[in-house]
Amino acid sequence: MALVLAALAALTALAIGVLLPEVYDLWIAGDIRQLRHRSEHGQQASTAARPGILIIALDGVQRSVLYDLLRDGSLPHFVELLGGVDSSGAFRHAHLDDSLLATLPSATIPGWTTVFAGVPPAEHGVTGNEFFIRERREFAAPIPTSFRDASPVIATFTEGLVNSLLKAPTVYQRLRQVEQDVRIWVVTNQVYAGADRLLLANRAVLGEAFAARVSVALGARAARAAYEEITEEVVGNLIDALEHDLVPDVLTLYIANTDRFAHVAENGPRAAQRVFLREVLDRELGRLLDKLRELQALDRYVVVVADHGHTALPHDKRYALGVEGPHEPPDVLRAAGFRVRNTGLASERADYQAVLAYQGAMAFVYLADRSLCSRTGQRCQWDRPPRYELDVLRAAEAFWQADASGAPAPGMRGALDLVLVRRPRPYREIDLPFEVYLGNGRTESLEAFLQHEPRSTYVAFSERLRDLAVGRYGERAGDVLLLTNVNDDSTGPRRYFGTTLYRSGHGSPTAQDSQVPLIVAHPHHSAAALRTKVQSALGPMPRLQRVGDLLLELRRGEY
């Protein structure tokens, strides 16, 4: 207990010392945000003959890790919540899908936004943990990766940051179009537009905001203890709310610490998640199960889904591609003649011609038409697209050469697997797909390239890249896209874009980062019937946006 308190005290001290106004706003608002005032009719229990849904959103949990634990009996409360197993160990009332893939980049913010918007990033506009909005000259960073600033993480919950960036209605809003008084609660997830209530544990938000600093300052053991206590508080606040109010029709419980602990654990992400799922989450789901049973509220669908997986990283700053120092990606652009935007929400310079946004295994590079802002101090017209040959290909060649030779940034040598480019279009138009840059101004379609240069660990790469980049808001994935040499653990260490030194990461199209669980259970449906429902909703291309369709159909009772 002393260790837990020490970790939490240090976390709070960091928060108060660095972000007093934002932290004050968080604490003063309390643990429950009433997002929508209900009509008198809406205060009563739902009268529609529609099934309830409990969504358990697990951040960063790889499919095989969770399924193995469920099948070997290591998560007894979780199994019970899913309807139990028969004498042979098969699930009687749950289907465990083996086909769902994360969006690209396989990261938290684009992943959960895609789940709860029900459309891909190029349509909902939230393309990464951080990204650039050209027409507004705005750097949006719900989870900063190229700089350290906790204020946008806190703003996600105090000001609805991710909701404000969305360009598509959420699943909750779409449900409400059909069923005005559907009761919807969201617990700590970043996407909650359309819900009645957002339940928070203030330490959980601070834990997300300061996770990297706590783990660095106190080590993985203290971080694990802090994350365990935070998870207990998150579930405890939900149980308290259920004690004093009607059970909502749709309830989303988001568990972030499965991801946070995996990032910092010394024994690797798979072992870390096995421990956390077995020793922490299963116990907390048991508490929730008991409360729902007491309230006779178990007659509902249970949907379990994750946003991405994890791959081990070398705990060595040589493998992290940051922003400061003489050998980092910004130096490649500067050497090629680009004025590069300073990192952070508020850049110190206004005349930048290039912007970098980091996504772990990927980086987005945004370019201006430099002919319109050639002089130092001259602001670029970011609502105009860059020139293809003189801006896009110039930057792509610089990165291609840096990867091949290390000039002018030795730290970039051998760092990249692919440099991807496309002909730019005005931001209001549907964007073109990315192509592989081959050097000296040559390009090839990704599909053709993969025919003769296959990437055996990448899954549905071309299709998911189109989801990210081809659409009304596809330009938010940049003009040049960099993909690091994301080898699997067995073949060598991987590189990543970011300023925090982690022990595991994600963001890539590899199977390890991309294969996510999807479980659907209901006490009155057989596993076979549920399989039919899930496969019908996912269709032939089972990616995260189809989970939104599944949730809508389950609630509407159309299966």
Q: What is the DSSP string of 344-413?
A: SSS-S-S--SEEEEE-BSEEEEEE--GGGS-STTPPP-TTSPPPIIIIIHHHHHHHHHHHHH--S-GGGT
Distance of CA 197 to the CA centre of its chain: 22
> pLDDT higher for 293 or 210?
293
Q: What percent of the chain has pLDDT over 70?
A: 87
Mean pLDDT computed over 520-545: 96
Tokens of 53: 């849904």
Mean pLDDT (whole number) for 276-284? 98
Residues in the chain: 559
Q: Tell me which of 86-100, 290-304, 333-347, 458-472 is least confident.
A: 333-347
Q: What is the pLDDT of residue 43?
A: 47
Contacts of 173 (CB under 8 A, 6+ apart): 193, 194
Pairing of strands 496-497, 184-187: unpaired
Cα pseudo-dihedral 533, 537, 539, 542, rounded to 10: -110
Contact present, 307 and 108 (Cβ < 8 Å): yes
Provide the whole-model pTM.
0.93
Q: What is the mean pLDDT of residues 514-534?
A: 97
The pLDDT tens digits for 313-351 are 988 888 899 988 777 999 999 999 999 999 888 777 789
d(CA 357, CA 363): 6
**How far is residue 459's CA from residue 510's CA, in Å, rounded to a whole number?**
6
- With contact defined as beta carbons under 8 Å apart, do 430 and 422 qualify? no
- Backbone phi, then psi, for 340, in 5-degree steps? -100, 135
Tell me how far apart the alpha carbons of residues 458 and 454 are, in angstroms, rounded to a whole number: 9
* Residues 358/498, Cβ–Cβ less than 8 Å: yes
Kindly state the DSSP code that residue 445 receives in the 8-state scheme.
E
- For the segment 76-88, what is each residue's pLDDT rounded down to a tens digit? 999 999 999 998 9
Cβ-based neighbour number of residue 442 at 10 Å: 10
- Kindly tell me if the per-residue pLDDT of 92 is higher than 90: yes
Give start and end residues of each alpha helix (H) in 189-265. Answer: 202-209, 211-244, 257-264
Cα 126 to Cα 496: distance, rounded to the nearest angstrom: 21
Q: What is the DSSP letter of 302?
A: E
β-bridge partners, 132: 139
Q: Give the pLDDT score at 206.
A: 57
The CATH number given to 2-119+171-313+514-521+533-556 is 3.40.720
Of 211-215, 362-366, 409-413, 479-483, minimum mean pLDDT range: 211-215
Q: Is 320 helix (H, G, I), strand (E, B) or coil?
A: strand
Predicted local confidence at residue 34, as pLDDT: 86
The whole-angstrom separation of Cα 381 and Cα 401 is 28
Summarised one tens digit per residue, pLDDT across range 132-146 is 999 999 999 999 999
Q: Positive or negative, the Cα torsion across 287, 291, 296, 302?
A: negative
pLDDT at 318: 85
Domain ranges, ordered by start, for the chain: 2-119+171-313+514-521+533-556, 317-501
How much is the average pLDDT of 158-171? Answer: 96
Question: How far is Cα of residue 218 from the mean position of the Cα atoms in its chain?
Answer: 25
* Helix (H) or strand (E) segment spanning residue 22: helix 20-29
Task: Give residues with Cβ within 8 angstroms of 57, minimum separation 6.
Answer: 112, 115, 189, 252, 253, 254, 255, 305, 306, 307
Element (H or E) spanning 462, and its range? helix 461-469
